């Protein structure tokens, strides 16, 4: 059983549909930008909305320093589109309905396996994972993510 990606691992190649129904491949940004890839349980729930809006509010600063944000959950493309539109989310949301990305990253479910896990990965410009933060409390991810991204620029 795979333990999951950890600090020092090279980010694997993957692709999925974004909130607009377009194919997105990580290779299009890998090696060019610092990446914040965050897995979250569900669109439009309190913790997930708070986390997404925090990242939205940091996004211009992230972009200015050469970072990209990618959110991943099992929600459908239309659900992601609605979530992104409702909260003006400027970053990529990938649909992982078959849980293949969760499996690839080794993101486990919480709460007796019922709720999809919340894990944030920060990846440097060389494609190496520099931070893995696993905590169901969305707020705990926020400042740690910003600090790590800034340290890699």
Contact yes or no for 9/43 (Cβ under 8 A): no
Task: Tell me the catalytic residues.
Answer: 48
Q: What are phi and psi of 100, to 5 degrees?
A: -70, -35
């Amino acid at each position: 059983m795979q333990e999951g990606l950890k600090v020092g691992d090279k980010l694997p190649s993957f692709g999925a549909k974004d909130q607009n129904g377009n194919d997105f491949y990580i290779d299009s940004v890998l090696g060019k930008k610092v990446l914040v890839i965050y897995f979250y349980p569900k669109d439009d729930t309190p913790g997930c909305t708070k986390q997404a809006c925090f990242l939205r509010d940091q996004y211009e600063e992230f972009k200015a320093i050469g970072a990209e944000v990618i959110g991943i959950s099992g929600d459908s493309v239309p659900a992601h589109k609605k979530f992104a539109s409702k909260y003006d989310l400027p970053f990529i949301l990938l649909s992982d309905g078959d849980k293949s990305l969760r499996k690839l990253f080794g993101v486990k479910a919480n709460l007796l396996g019922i709720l999809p896990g919340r894990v944030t990965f920060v990846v440097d410009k060389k494609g190496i994972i520099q931070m893995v933060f696993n905590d169901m409390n969305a707020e705990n991810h926020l400042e740690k993510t910003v600090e790590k991204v800034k340290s890699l620029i």
